[in-house]
Amino acid sequence: MNLKAILFDVDGTLAETEELHREAFNRTFQAAGLPWHWDRPLYGELLAVTGGKERLRHFIDSHARSELGADPTPAIARLHAAKTDTYTGLVEAGALQFRPGFRELITAARQAGIRLGIATTTSLPNVSALLRAALGAEGERCFEVIAAGDSVARKKPAPDIYLSALAQLGLGAQSCMAVEDSAAGLRSARSAGIPTLVVRSAYTRHQSFEGAALVLDSLEELPSHMHVPSLLEAAQSLHTAALSSSASAAPAAH
Ligand code: XBP
Ligand code: MG
């Protein structure tokens, strides 16, 4: 089966975003007069909870239960909206760029008629700001589907966001490939049945990635791993290899 679409995660995959998310959370806490500061070790632990609102709720439940009263839900919504404004402002000011190879892969895939989608836990305004900053004013239009944030009931590691992207594309899982950076993202994509390339990021290098088609530290390593000259050919070869290894690993049909 040929590769028909590539589905990209955003945070950690297209760009190393998590330090900027952390900065935006901390600026928001300070502006709200809250005595909280998320340092790197703490944020590394908090990343186990995907989704900014969910992460905030988990932090409040585990570290700051008394500070927002009996029902923290309205405060979480306000804080998260302020954090999104801060984060998108920083992205628009040029704080992020794509990781090496992603722009090239996106360009080559578009030229070859391979469809592109996004499947992410992050909020839609964050995706839009990054795509515009990295790819120009028309950046969002490179992607036929942008499945993001609260558009599904369950965030990664549940498969919902990938299933939503597949449904919008009208494609089966095996004709696509996902690109992820985290164990939660890999689980989400694999639970949806999609062969997955992992490109580890700053906060995910220590995680384990059983079930990935391949694990790299940079997308630029992909062509040499697949013994082909270009990123797109490498993605296509990896997809073919992933399908044939999953077929050979499947129990024989009787
Ligand atoms: C990324 C996330 C996101 C961001 C924050 O996970 O968990 O929550 O950290 O974004 P993944 P919001 O890369 O697996 O999709 O604050 O907008 O939720
Ligand atoms: Mg990610």
Which tens digits make up the pLDDT trace of 194-232? 999 999 999 999 999 999 999 999 999 999 999 999 999
Question: What CATH architecture does domain 18-92 belong to?
Answer: Orthogonal Bundle (1.10)
DSSP per-residue letters across 170-184: T--GGGEEEEESSHH
pLDDT band (50, 70, 90) for residue 148: very high
- The pLDDT > 70 percentage for the chain reads 98
Ligand 1: residues with CB < 6 A are 9-12, 18, 21, 50-52, 84, 120-123, 126, 149, 156, 182, 184-185
Residue in 57, 121, 180, 198 to alter for ligand 1 test, most ligand atoms within 8 A of Cβ: 121
Confidence check: pLDDT of 254 > 90: no
Write out pLDDT tens, residues 93-102: 999 999 999 9
In contact, 97 and 15? CB cutoff 8 Å: yes
Q: Which ligand is nearest to the CA of 47?
A: 1
Q: What is the pLDDT of residue 242?
A: 97
Domain positions in the chain:
5-16+98-249, 18-92
Write out pLDDT tens, residues 99-141: 999 999 999 999 999 999 999 999 999 999 999 999 999 999 9
Distance 24 CA to ligand 2 centre (A): 17
pLDDT band (50, 70, 90) for residue 252: very low
Element (H, E) at 215: strand 214-216
In contact, 49 and 18? CB cutoff 8 Å: no
Lowest mean pLDDT among 54-68, 74-88, 172-186: 54-68
Catalytic (active-site) positions: 9, 11
β-sheet bridge partners, residue 15: 11
Q: Which ligand is nearest to the CA of 189?
A: 1
Query: What pTM value is reported for the model?
Result: 0.95
Q: What is the pLDDT of residue 65?
A: 76
Q: What is the pLDDT of residue 68?
A: 78
| Location of structure tokens 């628009």 | 92
Residue in 22, 53, 55, 179 to alter for ligand 1 test, most ligand atoms within 8 A of Cβ: 55
pLDDT band (50, 70, 90) for residue 250: low
Q: What is the pLDDT of residue 232?
A: 98
Q: How many CA atoms lie within 13 A of 16 on its CB side?
A: 11
Which CATH number does the domain 5-16+98-249 belong to among 3.20.20.70, 3.40.50.1000, 3.40.50.1820, 3.40.630.30?
Answer: 3.40.50.1000
Q: What is the pLDDT of residue 16?
A: 98
